[in-house]
Amino acid sequence: MDYAYFALRQKAFNFDQYFIENPIKSLTRSDAIIQAKQWILLKGDDQTFFEILKKIDSKDIINAYIFKALKQQYLNIEQCLKYYQNTQQKIEFWYLIKLKKSHNSK
């Protein structure tokens, strides 16, 4: 994905237009999974990222993307915990430790 991003940037690809043509409300689950990866890579706004996650509708996949976003410094630990609080999603203690370790390794 990183190489694809680099190649598209070299060709002056219009990412803004791409996201306008593919609004969140029209995404399928698999499209949302792809767009979540793209959003982390492009470091788009976090509220839109959380809207994309709603379309994925899979706790395991969402947790993986939140962890990836934290690890790539797209989100911070407070944003992650706020997301879980806002969605009233319970997280396992081991996962909380994993998030914290990832946050501290920066």
Would you list the domain boundaries of the chain?
2-104
Please give the model's pTM, rounded to 2 decimal places: 0.80
Confidence label for 47 from pLDDT (cuts 50, 70 and 90): very high
Closest CA to 2 of 38, 45, 48, 52: 38
Q: What is the pLDDT of residues 65-100, one digit of tens each?
A: 999 999 988 999 999 999 999 999 888 888 888 888
Which residues neighbour 81 within 8 Å (Cβ) at sequence distance 6 or greater? Answer: 99
Q: What is the mean pLDDT of the chain?
A: 85
